Structure 1
Amino acid sequence: MPKPPATSTAVPVGIAVPGQFRDGLFSCFNSPLILAAGCCCPFVTTGQLYERILAKKGTCLLVAAVIAVLMISTTVFDSQCSKPMELDAYGTLTVPEPEGVCVYKQVFALFSFAAFVIIGSITCMVREKVRAKYAIPPTCCGSLDDFCCGFFCPCLNQTQILRHLEVFEEGQYSITSPVGVEAV
C-alpha cells in the first residue's frame, strides 16, 4: 500500500514559532530599520547584541567603538596609500603603481582582519546563545551552523537575530539603545 504524502502546515512569515527563528536569514526587508542598522552600522549592532545576549552590561559602546575605529581607520588610511588615477599618453585611465611598499597598507589590513574576527566571533557566540535559549536546531551545517552564519554572513545573521528578539522579547528596535530595544 502506498504511503500517503507528508503534509505540512504553512506558517505566515514573521510569526513567532517555538523552535524556529521568526523568519529566514534572507528575510531582511521584513524590518527595514534593522536592515539599515545591520548593513550600514554593523559595529553598532554587534555592540548591542554583545551587551544584550552575552550579559555584559555597559559594553555596547566599547565594542562598537573598537570595531568602528578598526573599520574606519582601514578605510581612511588605505586611501592614503593609493594614488589617484591618471590619464596616460593615449587618454586611457590608469592607476599608477605605488613606489615601494606602503607599510601602512599592511598594518591597516590587519586592522580590517581584526574587525572581521571580532564581529564574526561575537555573532557566533550570540547566535549560539539565542538558538539555545529558544531551542532552535541548527539548519544546514550541524555544529558549524553558528560559525558559518557568523563569519560568512554576519550582517544577515545579526539582522535575523534582532528581528527574532524583537518578536519574542516584545520590544521595538532602536539603534540608539545599548541593547537595541527602546526602554519602556
Structure 2
Amino acid sequence: MSYVLQDGNDGTSKDIPVNVHIIAPSTLPEGYILEAEIGAPGSKKTISVEVPQGGVVEGQVFLIPLPDDFAVGEPRIQAPTGRWKDGTFDFCKAGACHPSLWCALCCTQVAMAQVLQRLRFNWLGNPAPEAATKHTFKVVLALIICYTVFTFALEMAEYTFNYDTVPVWIVATRFTGGMAFTIYSIYSLMKLRENVRAKYSIPTEHCGGVEDMCCSMWCSCCVVSQIARHTGEYETYKGSVCSETGMAAHTPSIV
C-alpha cells in the first residue's frame, strides 16, 4: 500500500491511500455495491465498490481508496500520496543520464505516451476501459509519426517555391496542423497531470484551478519527467527508453 503520513487537524497523523479510478458499468444509485476489477491485464483482482453519494451514470469515472488488504505482499510500484515525490524542476533527481529525463527532453510526447501506458490511461490522458487503453502508446506514437511526416511533406513542398510565392494553402495547412498537434499535446498532458494528482491526492500549489494547464503549457518536458519519476520508483526499478511504459521488462504494474 502506498502512503505518506500527513498531520491531521488534531495534530495526529493520518494515512492517505492511493485512489483507484472506477468506471461505472451502468447507471447506479448511491450506496449500490458492485464488483469491479482493478489492476493490470493478466493480474486483475476483484473488489467490492460502493457507489458514491449522488449515484453514477454509465461510463462515469469515480475514485475510491485502494482497500488496505489489496494484493498484500505482492510487488507493486510505490508512489507517495498527498504530495509530489519531488519538484517540477528536479529533473536530474533520478540521474543526469536517466532514460526518463532524456526521453522527456528530446521527445516529450513519447515520454508522455509511456506514462499514459504505464497508468493505463487513454491517449487523451483519461482513465478508460481496458479496450481503450491497451494500445495507448502505439496510438500516441502513430500521432507523432503522422504529424512529423505531415510537417516534413509541407516543408518539402515549400522548397519548390520562392519565399514570397509559397501558396497560402501550404502555409495555412502547416499552421493548422501545428496548432492542432500543440493543442492535443497540452490538453492530454494537462489531463494526465490532473488525473495523477487525483489518484495520489496531490493538491495544487500555484495558479489556482489552472495549475495543470499552466504547467503543461509552459514546461511540458519538466511535467512529464516529474510524473514519470513519481510513478516509476526508479530507485528500485530501471527505466527504459525502448519500452511502451518507460520501464524495464518485468517491472511490477501500478494499480
TM-score range, shorter chain: 0.7 to 0.9
> Which of residues 81, 87, 102 in structure 1 aligns to 2:158?
81
1:69 paired with 2:146, answer yes
1:135 paired with 2:201, answer yes
Q: Which amino acid aligns with 1:61?
A: K
* Structure-2 residue corresponding to 1:154: 220
Name the structure, 1 or 2, with higher relative contact order (CA <8 Å, separation 6+): 1
Q: 1:107-144 deviations in whole A, cap 9, x for unaligned? A: 12222112111211111111111111211111201211
4+ residue segments displaced more than 3 Å = 168-171
> Matches of 2:203 and 2:239 in 1, distance apart?
25
Give the stretch that moved more between structures: 67-76 or 38-47: 67-76
> Matches of 2:181 and 2:115 in 1, distance apart?
16
* Deviation of the 1:19 alpha carbon: 1.8
Counterpart of 1:28 in 2: which secondary structure? coil
CA contact (8 A) 1:46 1:64 kept: no
Q: Which amino acid aligns with 2:89?
A: F
1:111 paired with 2:188, answer no
> Matches of 1:113 and 1:170 in 2, distance apart?
39
Counterpart of 2:165 in 1: which secondary structure? coil
* Structure-2 residue corresponding to 1:172: 238
Gaps of 5+ in 2: 1-78, 122-126, 128-132, 251-255
> Matches of 1:171 and 1:114 in 2, distance apart?
36
Q: Which amino acid aligns with 1:106?
A: A
> Matches of 1:157 and 1:40 in 2, distance apart?
14
> Matches of 2:177 and 2:158 in 1, distance apart?
15
Aligned length in residues: 158
* Deviation of the 1:171 alpha carbon: 3.5
Counterpart of 1:98 in 2: which secondary structure? helix
Distance 1:147 1:66, change over 3 A: same
> Which of residues 82, 87, 96 in structure 2 aligns to 1:19?
82
Gaps of 5+ in 1: 1-15, 85-95
CA contact (8 A) 2:158 2:166 kept: no
- Could you say which structure has the higher strand fraction? 2
> Matches of 2:192 and 2:179 in 1, distance apart?
20
- Could you say which structure has the higher helix fraction? 1
Distance 1:169 1:138, change over 3 A: farther
Distance 1:45 1:183, change over 3 A: same
* Deviation of the 1:173 alpha carbon: 1.9
> Matches of 2:105 and 2:149 in 1, distance apart?
15
Aligned Cα root-mean-square deviation (Å): 2.6
